[in-house]
Amino acid sequence: MTNAVMNVCVWLKGFLSAGEPEYKRCDTAEGLRKRNCSAITDPKPNVQKILDTELGSSLENMVQLRPQKLHLTLRVGVPQTFEVVFKRAEGYPIDLYYLMDLSFSMRDDLKNVKSLGRNVVSTLKNFTHAVRIGFGAFVDKRESPYVNTNPKKLANPCPQHQCQPSFSFQHILKLTDNMEEFETEVSKQNISTNEDLPESGFDGVMQVAVCEKEIGWGNVTRILVYLSDDLFHVAGDGRLAGIVRPNDGKCHLNSMGFYEKATLYDYPSIAHLSEVLAKNHIKIIFAITEEVMESYKAVSELIPQSVVGILEHDSSNVLQLISDAYNDLVSKLILEHHKAPAGLDISYSSHCSDSTKSHGQRRGECRNVGFINFTVTVSSSVCFSDIQSFTIKPQGLKEELSVTVETICDCNCSDTEKQSANCNGTGTYTCGICSCEEGYTGQMCECEKQQNADSILSMDASCTPNNSTQICSGHGSCLCGRCICRSHYRGKHCQCDDTSCNYHRNLICGGREGLRNGRCNCGTCECHPNYEGPACECPTIADECQTGNGSICSDHGHCECNQCICNPDFKGKHCKEALYPCLEYGACVQCRLSNASGKEPCEPGCSSTELIYSPETQTFSCHNEMFFFNVESNNETVRIFYSEKQGESHHQQDKLNYSVLESNVGNNRR
């Protein structure tokens, strides 16, 4: 279960506890269960299949996408998933339309295309049993500077050959399965020419795409084969001839099949072509010569369901090119959505027939198309005021899944009860809430208003502390002029918070429930006997600091909160351990050994030390001019091991210079 599902809000239909605000009705299901709430409304999202025709490959039942229509009921922020399956039908019919450049440089190509019909059908029947082909041609707009507008040149634009007049586009043969008709019509065609290099091929692509009835497109695989050996005009080029109106994307073929508005509208943009080709489910094969390949590759990258193939200069390889391009186009399936409303997020997980998978993508995509399963995830971030819709469809195919969406943003309670006993007979009960009749107020309409118009203000005022604008200090609700406090708040105006006292070691007033050193009273710790401090953190007794003979902290520190705080030169629980023993006990050693008779008193504490002579000096860490020594302390016992330096007498009274052999303690102390 995702976090989004776990954290979705549900609604409490039952009554709240005294003092709970209305917003507490909306919580997670887990939150309400922890509060022992049972009357919970939790509307569920849902996927309803409206049309789910089984997949089929026969001409009478050609279905490749399933389901075909769904209705989604969504909770805001809760993702909903459904499955979409695709299986490419075997022998799916093909409509193939030739759009050929008839400029003068294509004269050899035209000879080959004239005998192409039967061979194309033979090639495509490797993929399908039903093929229709059509034919159209383009040159360029009949305006200068694209063509020579001299009347004689318009009639015959070729200098040394007999050519037909130039034209932007002509639809010559409607899609047909009669190959003889195709060859007859194509054989009638003649070459023309224009003045500049680019042609008006994209005018032709637009008309072939939008003139569905005139071309004869069927509900089948639609392929447009574009043959040319040169570049193309695009939107903006029309300005050279004073043609400034943008292409309107509509069909303008006259009775002879000519594009009759060619000199009225500019050439289409590539984006416009991409849109109309996708809308009309047309795959396009650019069969072009190698010299212009890079330009057409750039165009193909902007047009889904398009490929580029290199055409021999006489079009002799066009059959192989069509076969390879068709295989390339049908080997990949892209599933994408269209016209989704704002606020709706849609993602795809693809489970392809070759076992490859992808998750959370903006569209579904598989190669080596066979049987494909897509998991579509839809979530909404907004509440829709009415039913929305979008479509999911495979690129280049007419089939689609239509999806309608509605969002659940209300509880739709059906238990409305007027003058309900739950509302003391003076209100309407709906979805756990009382709507009180005139003259009554309160969660269950239990408060009767006074007759004057200021009665509500008066009740609120009695719940508001002086010098404040917050009712019940912001920690409760006013019920009939009395504060009902929430949770751990109390007091006339809910002004006391018994969880806001100081903490010590993460414990309020220095301890846990039952083991506290004090209790929290309205934000202040009231300490039990023997404890003091803002959080009752300090015991008032000092038994842990006593070290015998009435001393506190071995006379080397002071007691705070029954704990020794040592002077800088001492450490340990009772401050018995010297941080710098060489300096601390050097004078004591000198005094004890130089004053054996005891006539001169040594410093306090020195008499309790035990002096032990040792001839070994290699482990001694302290020394002065006369002695080597070591200090060992164990609880209350201090033992000093010492040895005289060679040739020195312990009766010498020279001034002592103390040092540390292994560490410069003097420097550390400074």
Amino acid residing at 638: V
- Does some domain include residue 265? yes
- Does some domain include residue 85? no
Chosen domain end from 408, 438, 459: 408
Do 198 and 153 lie in a common domain?
yes
Do 404 and 290 lie in a common domain?
no
Q: What is the DSSP string of 434-502?
A: EEEPTTEESTTS-EEPPSSTTHHHHHHHHTS-TT--SGGGGSEEEETTEEEE-TTEESTTS-EETT-S-
Do 530 and 553 lie in a common domain?
no
Please give the tally of structural domains in the chain: 7
Angle between helices 270-279 and 201-210 (to 10 degrees): 30
Domain holding 531: CATH number? Answer: 2.10.25.10
- Does some domain include residue 498? no
Do 227 and 324 lie in a common domain?
yes
> Mean pLDDT score of the chain, rounded to an integer?
83
pLDDT tens-digit map of 403-428: 999 998 877 666 778 888 888 888 88
- Does some domain include residue 82? no
Please report the pLDDT score of residue 90 as a whole number. 76
Q: Which element (helix H / strand E) includes 670? A: none
Do 288 and 204 lie in a common domain?
yes
- Does some domain include residue 280? yes
Do 367 and 431 lie in a common domain?
no
- Does some domain include residue 463? no
Do 283 and 193 lie in a common domain?
yes
Do 70 and 147 lie in a common domain?
no
Domain holding 113: CATH number? Answer: 3.40.50.410
Say if CB 113 and CB 315 are below 8 A apart. yes
pLDDT tens-digit map of 371-380: 889 999 999 9
pLDDT tens-digit map of 320-342: 888 888 887 778 888 999 999 99
- Does some domain include residue 599? yes
Chosen domain end from 273, 305, 330: 330
Do 595 and 572 lie in a common domain?
no
Distance from C-alpha of 545 to C-alpha of 591, rounded to nearest angstrom: 30
369, 371, 377, 383: CA torsion to nearest 10? 100
| First vs last C-alpha separation in the chain | 65
Q: What pLDDT band is residue 653 in, cutting at 50, 70 and 90?
A: very low
Do 176 and 157 lie in a common domain?
yes
Q: Which of 275-284, 439-448, 534-543 has the lowest mean pLDDT?
A: 439-448
Domain holding 346: CATH number? Answer: 2.60.40.1510
Give me the half-sphere count of Cα atoms (radius 13 Å) on the Cβ side of residue 403. Answer: 30
Please report the pLDDT score of residue 454 as a whole number. 59
Do 356 and 310 lie in a common domain?
no
pLDDT tens-digit map of 524-574: 999 988 888 899 888 888 888 888 777 888 888 898 888 899 988 778 888
**Residue 73 β-bridge partners:** 46, 406
Distance from C-alpha of 204 to C-alpha of 214, rounded to nearest angstrom: 13
Please report the pLDDT score of residue 129 as a whole number. 79
Please report the pLDDT score of residue 406 as a whole number. 94
Chosen domain end from 579, 609, 641: 579
Q: Greater confidence, 7 or 285?
A: 285
Domain that holds residue 554: 541-579
Do 269 and 355 lie in a common domain?
no
pLDDT tens-digit map of 485-532: 877 888 888 889 988 899 887 888 886 555 678 888 888 999 988 888
Tokens of 510: 């220095």
- Does some domain include residue 521? yes
